[in-house]
Structure 1
């Protein structure tokens, strides 16, 4: 049974604010290959990363010309989930599209 404590009526108890650090963020990348059609990459960017057509085209061209493109920046769990969704979708359609994550550098 809890003990009842009589505190003076003029006592003010202040609670110290606790700050939590934001979670570490990860960049989700699509990697270029010689087999996945460009229109499929655009579709993936729109479906799994909510990119508009213009952004999806820009990222797809970056993947094509530079070998990789950033789809988004997320906390670890969300990044891992997006990667799993993209990989499963691509494999089901027999595309070798690779999606990976890397820690975001400051």
Structure 2
């Protein structure tokens, strides 16, 4: 899992630093079990958190799976693409 050791929690960023989000979107291709598997494998989510996030994607159409510095969120989005998931990066609402 490249780059995971360099994760920065959004709460650790200076107050004037913009916070970005990695958003995973629902798609008609991937099984729910696969999405939960990806969340567990890549993000290290517990089985319960991975299932909760996967169900949010399924029911709401998307879920914010990470927040932090833009560069890190772009790495997460690329990793989701590598797993075959649809993900984008957006500025977090303030």
Query: Same fold by TM-score, threshold 0.5 exceeded?
Result: yes
Q: Quote the residue 2:46 is aligned against.
A: 52
The alignment partner of 1:100 has SS state of strand
Give the drift of 1:22: 4.7
Residue-by-residue CA offset, 1:66-99 (whole Å, 9 max, x unaligned)? 1001101020010001111121122xxxxxx201
More helix per residue: 1 or 2? 2
TM-score scaled by length of structure 1:
0.70
Q: 1:66 aligns with which of 45, 60, 66?
A: 60
Any unmatched runs of 5+ in structure 1?
A: 1-19, 91-96
Across the two proteins, how many residue pairs are aligned to each other? 81
1:30 maps to which residue? 24
Query: What is the TM-score when the length of structure 2 is the normalising length?
Result: 0.78
Q: State the Cα RMSD in Å.
A: 1.4
Aligned partner of 1:98 in structure 2 is 86
Q: Which protein is bigger by CA-based radius of gyration?
A: 1
RCO (CA 8 Å, sep 6+): is it higher in 1 or 2? Answer: 2
